[in-house]
A and B are shown apart, each in its own frame.
Chain A
Amino acid sequence: MSYFVIGYFALLIGGACVAAYYKQQSALIVLFALTLVSFLLGIIGGAVVLWGIAVAAGALAFCAMTAYSFREFLILLLPKRLAKQVATAPLTASFGMFVILIYMIAGIFAPWIAPFGEAEVVGSAFAPPDDTLLLGGDQLGRDMFSRLIFGARNTVGLALLATTLAFIAGAATGLLAATKGGIFDQLMGRFADIIMSIPALIFALLILSIFGTNLTVIVIVVAVIYSPRVFRLTRAVAGNVVVMDYIEAAKLRGEGDWYLIRREILPNSTAPLVAEFGLEFCFVFLLIAGLSFLGLGIQPPTADWGSMVRENATLISFGVITPLIPAAAIALLTVAVNFVVDWMLFRSSGLKEKL
């Protein structure tokens, strides 16, 4: 038996004892259950599996520590009002914020961070990773790492633009429909129904093949597809606010619709709308990646995560993980955004209880 295995179990059991002594029930359960599972896995898979578990636990601990220190860092750095809110964030949310920050830095400073240009051929096709090509080369010999960095700018930027557009359109109509009611509300509602009744991907494919695949068309199509959802949500949220007495008071004062929306309704519906923005962003992001994968999205040679997965897909049959890296980048961002959104949803519902 190797020293590693002995040390591994000694650490687990010792940890469990400490937890039991200090009456940390949940920690005890986790540690001891892990010990038992490790026995079983150790017998079946040998020391390698235990290595795997140790590395995974280490990675998890690393992420948690990053999240923790990032949160404390933010609390110190931000103004008081914001810092107080950040202090309530769970570790998952601060991890999500950390990941989003990294992506933002990568996207904004892409030309300075990336060692090569996005369309620059620097090595042989499918070159293995080495000191200059950190993640190897793609099917044309371009640097995978540089393209990944530029992809953050292109894919995320495009998704952000499309989501924002969808939000502006959806939220504006939703708020107006809730405030005005009547015919306008009905018309907008039915119009939203019509758009929602067409399958999103097919609609996008259709429009893109009619108008050609340039960026403007992609952004507009995606915005049109997603704005009815935003419309629905905004109308429902604003509908709850519109019946409040303070809206009645403002109406009786003679205020116009624009004032009602801007000063009275919007401040009371931002929390769910921001959360929805995060969720929609993920969907839009996936749709754009999907379109790129199908070859109708962002056109080469512009770097884009969706098309990067497609272009390098053949490599997967050789047991190389290169095509999975852009996919992992997509997954990580989606998870990170969801972490943050979860926290915001929790906060907005928690606040309601307090009131």
Chain B
Amino acid sequence: MTEQNQKNVLLSIRDLHIEGYTGEEWLPIIKGVNLTLHRGEVLGLIGESGAGKSTIGAAAMGFARDGTRISSGSIVFDGIDLTTASREDKRALRGARIAYVAQSAAASFNPAHKIIDQHVEAPVQYRIKKRSEARKDAIELYEKLRLPNPEEIGFRYPHQVSGGQLQRAMTAMAMACRPDLIIFDEPTTALDVTTQIEVLAAIRDIVDEFNTAAIYITHDLAVVAQMADTIKVLLNGEEVEEASTEEMLDHPKEDYTKSLWAVRSFKKPQKARPKDSEPLISVRGVDAAYGGGLKVLDDVSFDIHAGMTVAVVGESGSGKSTAARVMTGLLPPRKGEILFKGEVLPPRYRDRSKDQLRQMQMIYQMADTALNPQVRISEIIGRPAQFYSGLKGTRLKQRVDELLDLIEMEPSQYYNRYPPELSGGQKQRIGIARALAAEPSFIICDEVTSALDQLVAEGILKLLDRLQRDLGLAYMFITHDLATVRAIADEVVVMQNGQVVEQGPKEEMFKPPHHPYTDLLLSSVPEMDPNWLTRLLEERGVDNVGEAAEV
């Protein structure tokens, strides 16, 4: 670190205040943040959503999003104060000396142009390189970032390459002008763990090679531990603490930081399958496809016993959510059947009886779209109770109050509110209460925590665990996050390409020997150890990660 301090300072943000316009007044978003970044240093910014990470990232380019303004403070980039610089001056910096890599590469590339044409735009625009030189350079960068077929891949359109490759192509694009500073705004959050590794490795190598300074924004501690030299923790627009990565991981000072670190420690003991009892739900040899297309599920079978949690894991596209759709009856299977307490369920939900529908409830990933924004909380929760049990008047109100108590929300305060007035975690709790209102015996949780911050997610997991103990519920937990699986599952089903590759009790599944695919999934989960990525790459070899990995 001392060596870096001697190098000159590239970016210095002093006492930055940013305000956002909400309703009718300007409210502070960033409340006096200081930040110093030296040349070649990688700074990790972490915090929950709403902590102001992305706002600071944008401010580092002198940019304030629509509806926000930089109200005071200074942002000095290499001697230029971006808060007072003219539009033209800032324009000349962006893309050429400061580059930005967004969370969703798929949404950031223009689908109508080839990747390489978008790549060479900036160098040609700023007259740094000629078009042919820039293309040659692009191909070199693709090679450095270990993209397959570097000669050819740039001439494809964005939809013709995979998400991980696109994210790497975007990093290459950010490198096109050899900027002094790159801002990475959650570049791997939307990717699967297996794809995440290759992007992380590629980003780290190229940042090292060109000695580029970077601000790495993420909410995933394990990821930031791999990437950053220094970590800054933010909470509600204020800095909590800043320290070098090793120090931050080993000796966090503030309580808030400690609580972030401790999140992954939640773990419930594994429950064994009850002996010689009939499974509550059993999926038998199910094949399914959308329309007349390819099979999305291929001979899938698993059992879920009463009071147990079964985690279904796999990458996106492995058929986890389709399995849930088949079970709920939204997608009738081509072959196979779903048994509930030994009885065959009708394949279509329309043909199922009210009681069969009541027994199986769902909690969704996006609480925003899972709750009707125009309906009061009391009715969202009250409707299933009214619909199935025929409760009315004061008895219905009592039941809603009970349910709100159950999810640890104050009934009098939330009874008449609407979903958009709640936070993400609260919305997810309402989603849980709606499922509970039906008094089910089985709940499908479809990525319920993946859209939430770690602390909030932990609260939800604990709540689900308590409810399971109190009410004897069975859960099917669809997730790609193995930390969640470790925390809550009793049994694990691993899926790949629509097939179940391995299943069994959690403890067994996390102990070797694994099925090679399970092994790949497990070893791809980032760990808090800052040397994890280096070690993993050494073990596997740099070319044997992610999509290229041999299974």
Contact = CB atoms under 8 A, between A and B. Distances in A.
Contacts of A244: 369-370, 372
B374 A268 contact: yes
B375 A252 contact: no
A246 B370 contact: yes
A228 B163 CA distance: 42
B489 interface: no
B291 to A, nearest CB: 13
B155 interface: no
Given A245-B364, A355-B420, A252 B387 contact: no
Interface string A26-61: 000000000000000000000000000000000000
B66 to A, nearest CB: 9
Contacts of A249: 362, 364, 370, 434
Given A245-B366, A248-B330, A355-B420, A253 B373 contact: no
B368 interface: yes
A251 B325 CA distance: 13
Contact of B371 (A246, A248, A251, A267): A246
Contacts of B240: none
A100 to B, nearest CB: 26
Contacts of B352: 254
Interface string B412-437: 00000000100000000000001000
Contact of B362 (A252, A255, A268, A355): A252
A81 interface: no
B438 interface: yes
A264 interface: yes
A263 B375 contact: yes
B113 interface: no
A246 B368 CA distance: 9
Nearest to A248: B330
Which one of B368, B370, B374, B420 has the greatest number of beta carbons of chain A within 10 Å? B374
B357 interface: yes
Which one of A251, A252, A255 has the greatest number of beta carbons of chain B within 10 Å? A252
Interface string A245-274: 110110111110000000110011000000
Nearest to A251: B349
B357 A252 contact: yes
B434 A252 contact: no
B374 A267 contact: yes
Nearest to A268: B374
Nearest to A355: B420
Contacts of A246: 369-372
B384 interface: yes
B354 interface: yes
Nearest to A88: B24
Nearest to A353: B67
A267 B371 CA distance: 13
B369 A253 contact: no
> What range describes how many residues of A lie at the interface?
10 to 19
Contacts of B364: 245, 249
B524 interface: no
Contacts of A267: 372, 374-375
B328 interface: yes
A252 B370 contact: no
Contact of A252 (B328, B374, B420): B328
A265 to B, nearest CB: 9
Contacts of B366: 245
Contacts of A354: 420
Which one of A249, A251, A268, A354 has the greatest number of beta carbons of chain B within 10 Å? A249
Given A245-B364, A267-B375, A268-B374, A253 B330 contact: no
A267 B369 CA distance: 14
B375 A253 contact: no
Interface in A260-305: 263-264, 267-268
Contacts of B383: 253
A267 B373 CA distance: 9
B418 to A, nearest CB: 11
Nearest to B364: A245
B284 to A, nearest CB: 21
Contacts of B370: 244-246, 249
Contacts of A252: 328-330, 349, 357, 360-362
A91 B388 CA distance: 50
B349 A268 contact: no
Interface string A312-331: 00000000000000000000
A206 to B, nearest CB: 42
A253 B357 contact: yes
Interface string B226-259: 0000000000000000000000000000000000
Contacts of A263: 372, 375
Interface in B16-72: none
Nearest to B383: A253
B374 A254 contact: no
Given A251-B349, A253-B384, A264 B372 contact: yes
Interface string B372-406: 11110000000110011000000000000000000
Nearest to A265: B372
Given A252-B328, A254-B357, A268 B372 contact: yes
A75 to B, nearest CB: 14
Given A251-B349, A267-B375, A268-B374, A245 B420 contact: no
Contacts of A248: 330, 362
A245 B369 contact: yes
Contacts of B361: 252
Nearest to B372: A246
Nearest to B357: A254
A249 B437 CA distance: 13
Contacts of B371: 246
Contacts of A255: 387
Contact of B373 (A251, A254, A268): A268
Interface in A321-355: 354-355
Interface in A227-253: 244-246, 248-249, 251-253
A251 B329 CA distance: 10
A251 B384 CA distance: 12
Contacts of B438: 253
Nearest to A87: B24
Nearest to A244: B369
Interface string B85-104: 00000000000000000000
A6 B364 CA distance: 73
A246 B418 CA distance: 14
A113 to B, nearest CB: 40
B300 to A, nearest CB: 20
Interface string B333-367: 00000000000000001001010010011101010
Interface string A126-148: 00000000000000000000000
Contacts of B375: 263-264, 267
A245 B447 CA distance: 13
A152 to B, nearest CB: 35
Nearest to B368: A355
Which one of A245, A263, A264, A267 has the greatest number of beta carbons of chain B within 10 Å? A245
A89 to B, nearest CB: 14
A268 B384 CA distance: 20
A254 to B, nearest CB: 5
Interface in B139-169: none
22 contacts: A244-B369, A244-B370, A245-B370, A246-B369, A246-B370, A246-B371, A248-B330, A251-B330, A251-B349, A252-B328, A252-B329, A252-B360, A252-B361, A254-B354, A263-B372, A263-B375, A264-B372, A267-B375, A268-B374, A355-B368, A355-B373, A355-B420
Given A246-B370, A249-B370, 20 more contacts: A245-B364, A245-B370, A246-B369, A246-B371, A248-B362, A251-B349, A252-B329, A252-B330, A252-B349, A252-B360, A252-B361, A252-B362, A253-B384, A253-B388, A254-B357, A254-B387, A263-B372, A267-B375, A268-B372, A355-B368
Closest A-B pairs by Cβ, 9 of them: A267-B374, A245-B370, A246-B372, A245-B364, A245-B369, A254-B357, A244-B369, A254-B354, A268-B374
